[in-house]
Amino acid sequence: MDLDDRQRGLGPPARELTWDQRRAERAAAVAFTVAILAGVGLFVVYFSGGQTQLEGVLFCLALGGLGVGVALWANRLLGAHEAVEERHELTSGAAGREAFEHALAEEVGPTLARRSLLVKLLAGAGGALGLALLLPVLSLGPAPGRTLKQTPWRRGSRLVDENGTQITLNSVPEDGFITVFPEGHAGSADAQALLIHVPKGELRLPADRLAAVPQGTHVAYSKICTHAGCPVGLYRADTRSLLCPCHQSQFDVLDGAKPFFGPAARPLPQLPLGVDDQGVLVALGDFYEPVGPAFWDRGKP
């Protein structure tokens, strides 16, 4: 099976090339020439300011020319020489394993057994050090504490838009909506809420929650989807529903933003609102429930 290098097309040819081989040789030569030209082309394109599409095509031609040439060489000029290799035994065999076990029992074991107290202390020291080395992991982040259960909204926080402009009852037309933040926290990730102006008398909320909806028309819900935390950015005025574009959870605005389709399980928490003496909308407190996706101790105080 072992063939002479010359017959494999590596050394000088032992016999005349066949017509097929000569054709393959020519084709490989063309491919390599294309690669050379494309390589030069890359220089030109780069120094004349660069152009992404041309760079890609020329880079492809340079590499592809080389690749095609080598492939032709491999498939047409080297010929198909099948080789056979015998497998070797993977295992060291019973004798080899026994010898190792013997070495363990004779050499490793006794060395440690002679100093059993030291070995125990060594293990203890290693363990203590290992635990101590784990501690810096705790520096990676703060304790969660209550941070997931509260937002910057406070009683009296004025509603502003993302630019910090205060929001009044007239800021949003009927069936319009706007993203609002507590004043001083414009752009806040966990405080973001949607203020929606719905027609009067349509909201179906418990009396105490309806009381936190100015004029019964300006209702605000957390903008963070209770499913996986995306901003619930789409409002469909025809069905008065909110749709999360990430996973298509849908919430009924008139019915306390309860989910009615999709993977979300909990309503968007409502933000209690009032109007201050200057006509600016204000929060009456934080959201009624923790905002955003569920977490382990969400239901604990």
Partner 1 sequence: MSMVIERSLKYLDERLGTASFARRALRKVFPDHWTFLLGEIALFCLVVLVFTGTFMTFFYNPSIREVVYDGPYQPLQGQHVSAAYDSVLRLSFEVRAGLLMRQVHHWAALVFVAAIVIHLCRIFFTGAFRRPREVNWLVGMALLFLALGEGFTGYSLPDDLLSGIGLRIFYSVALAIPVVGTWVTYLLFGGEFPAGDIISRLFVFHVMLLPALLIGLVVVHLFVLVLQKHTQYPGRGRTERNVVGKRFWPEQTFKSVSLLLLTTAMLALLGGLAQINPVWQYGQFRPFDVTSPAQPDWYIGFLDGALRLGPPWDLTLFGYTISEVFWPAILFPGVAFGILTLWPWIERRFTRDRAEHHLLDRPRDAPARTATGAAGLMVFFIMFLEGGNDIFGVLLNVSVEVVTRTLQWALLVAPVVTWLVTFWVCRALKRSRVHPARINAGVRLRRTADGGYETASLEPTSTPE
Q: Is there binding between residue 238 and partner 1 (CB under 8 A)?
A: no
Our finding on whether 71 is near partner 1 (CB under 8 A) is yes
Site for partner 1 in 153-192 (CB under 8 A): 162, 179, 187-190, 192
**217 to 174, 223, 228: CA distances (angstroms):** 8, 18, 28
Residues between 127 and 146 that touch partner 1 (CB under 8 A): 137-138, 140-144
Min CB(283)–partner 1 separation in Å: 17
Residue 189 or 284 having the CB closest to partner 1: 189
The number of CA neighbours under 13 Å toward the Cβ of 219 is: 27
Q: Does 298 sit near partner 1 (CB under 8 A)?
A: yes
CB 202 within 8 A of CB 240: yes
Does 84 bind partner 1 (CB under 8 A)? Our answer is yes
Q: How far is the CB of 245 from partner 1 (least distance, A)?
A: 3
| Among residues 4, 16, 86, 107, the one that binds partner 1 under rule CB under 8 A | 86
Cα(4)–Cα(244) distance, integer angstroms: 69
Q: Counting contacts by CB under 8 A, is residue 57 touching partner 1?
A: yes
Per CB under 8 A, contacts with partner 1 among 240-259 are 245-249, 259
Tokens read off for 27: 């084709």
Tracing tokens 């705790």 back to the chain, one arrives at 138
Give the total of residues touching partner 1 (CB under 8 A).
Answer: 81
Helix (H, G, I), strand (E, B) or coil at 179: strand
- The closest alpha carbon to 197, from 175, 179, 216, belongs to 175
